[in-house]
Structure 1
Amino acid sequence: MKLVFDVYTHSAKGQWGFSASGPEVWTAEIKPGKALKLDRVEAITLGGLLTKRVRMGYVRATRTKYLHQTLTPEGDVYGEFSEVHPDVLSPDGSELVLMATKSLSDDLSALTAAWETKLQMVSVLSEQAAVWLKRQELAKQYFTAHATHPAFALVLADWAMENKQIVLCQKGAVPTTKPMNDPLAWKKFLSEWFKEETVQRAMEQLSWSLRDAMLAPVMRQPENINESGDAQGWNAEAGLAAF
């Protein structure tokens, strides 16, 4: 769920919040043990529910938050309010490397199939790849690559830059060209999270190594293309973006 909640906190009773969108409102109550109760109510009842919580001593948080939900093996649903978008949070706690904006027009089935084909070139990655692809299928707003294997960041960045999607990084600056076009820059960038030999091996298996770049045919640009135009400006903006 990517809804943004107004959150109210009680020192002993936990947290309660609401997300209003149209005639219906979602309310979420999180007990001190993180047990979650999620309800959908009519907007006309919100005033009474809010007044009740305020009278009980709940205090409004200064910022709105996203609701994160976790299903335990026992079938219990736990919740947590967070300022971090659910797409960005890593289930295993690994650090975010980069993220790319998702378009509503993206054909997820075709996209994940293409990524799967590309990732099959990387050895000893089948189980991790299946988990990563499933996560992208569930993404609401951002595709993400965490510090589990450099191939995910490389494949995601290649697609994003090919399709003019904004790429944001956790630290540093994203290279301004696709991995296949500047493998040295991507090797240096990803060495913040991975060993250089691991990045090198992934790029070799994806056919995006320095050797592949040197052997690739030279693509000549038409003379009427303005190098300082929109494409270059977009690359500069994406490369400098960080959060």
Structure 2
Amino acid sequence: MSGVYDVYEHPTKGAWGVSVQSMRVLTAEVAGGLVRQANLLPHNLAPVVSKRVRAGFKKITRRKYLQLDGEENGLLKGRFTEDHPELAIGEELIFFTTVSIGDDVAALAQQWEAVLETTDVRPEALEAWLTRVRRACQYIAVPASHPAIALVVADWVVDGRRMLISDRPGVPQRVPKEVPLEWEEWLAYFFTKHNETRDALVQLGWSVRDAMFANQAIASLNSGNDGGWLADAASVAF
């Protein structure tokens, strides 16, 4: 991501933007889908802006992000957009979460890759998403490409009491491994094939059956011997 730009548009010459970042001034000219970037010394900014205005460029109200879309024949492609580049994923977005200062996104990507390789997520779709995760600076976006991806990220977000942002209301408040049916119902809006999300839960080891056995194990541990915690509480009280 290359920052937020004040953008000036021209009816025939495309758009030109300027981003002031600390002691750096970055400019970007976008025309015909191609991007030309440059650096300016701070004291040269005002004259350059004046020159653009005299040439017919008009400043628009809303600031925009510079979305870079790779290279073609050695030329950089891109566009100005109001959408944050890390959320402009080119496909339907289920939800996104924020990246905190202490998050190691490379380690997260490695961890998620190991888990998701055990599912039937298409390798090319998985690698494309993991690449975005490794590059994430502010947001991790979850596309509607496979329910296993959504479930794995949701588990991390909910377990860590992080912010999960979605246009879809009714997000479950517990992790998928504990309430798989709730997540299956919530994700049904995005994944409509028969048992699509249920199969992903099974592949992850988070099916309803898995949840039942996990809950039974927890209940058994909590009960313990001699009446479990109730007996302990009674012995302390009396």
Tell whether the structures are fold-level matches, with TM greater than 0.5. Answer: yes
> Is the CA contact (8 Å cut-off) linking 1:2 and 1:140 kept in structure 2?
no
Stretches of structure 1 that go unaligned for 5 or more consecutive residues are: 224-243
**For the residues of structure 2 that align with 1:130 and 1:98, how far apart are their CA atoms?**
19
CA distance in 2 between partners of 1:44 and 1:203 (Å): 58
Once the two structures are aligned, what percentage of the paired residues are identical?
A: 37
User: 1:158 maps to what in 2?
Assistant: 155
Query: Is the 1:7–1:16 Cα contact (8 Å) retained in structure 2?
Result: yes
* Deviation per residue, 1:109-134 (Å, 9 max, x gap): 32222111111221353332222111
User: What TM-score, normalized by structure 1, do the two folds share?
Assistant: 0.84
Structure 1 contact 66–82 (Cα < 8 Å) conserved: yes
Asked whether 1:134 is paired with 2:131, we answer yes
Counterpart mapping for 1:90-239 below 5 A: 90=89, 93-195=90-192, 196-216=194-214, 217-218=217-218
Deviation at 1:106, TM superposition (A): 1.2
Where is the helix percentage greater, Structure 1 or Structure 2? 2
**Unmatched 5+ residue regions in structure 2?**
223-228, 230-238
- Distance in 2, matches of 1:193 and 1:123, equals 17
Shift, 1:23, TM fit: 1.7
Q: Displacement, 1:62? A: 1.0
Map of 2:235 onto structure 1? none
**Which AA in structure 2 matches 1:132?**
W
How many positions carry a matched residue from both structures?
Answer: 218
Bigger radius of gyration among the two: 2
Q: Secondary structure at the match of 2:140?
A: strand
Per the alignment, in what secondary structure is the counterpart of residue 99 of structure 1? strand
- Whichever residue aligns with residue 14 of structure 2, its letter is G
- The alignment's C-alpha RMSD in Å is 1.7
Q: Tell me which amino acid in the other structure corresponds to 1:53.
A: R
Distance in 2 (alpha carbons) for counterparts of 1:55 and 1:207: 64
Give deviations 1:184-214, integer Å, cap 9, x for gaps: 1111111111125111100110011111111
The superposition leaves residues 203-240 of structure 1 with CA deviations (integer Å, 9 ceiling, x where unpaired) of 110011111111113366xx9xxxxxxxxxxxxxxxxx
The runs of 4+ residues in structure 1 deviating greater than 6 Å are: none
TM-score, with length taken from structure 2: 0.86
Task: For residue 2 of structure 1, report the CA deviation from its aligned partner.
Answer: 4.1
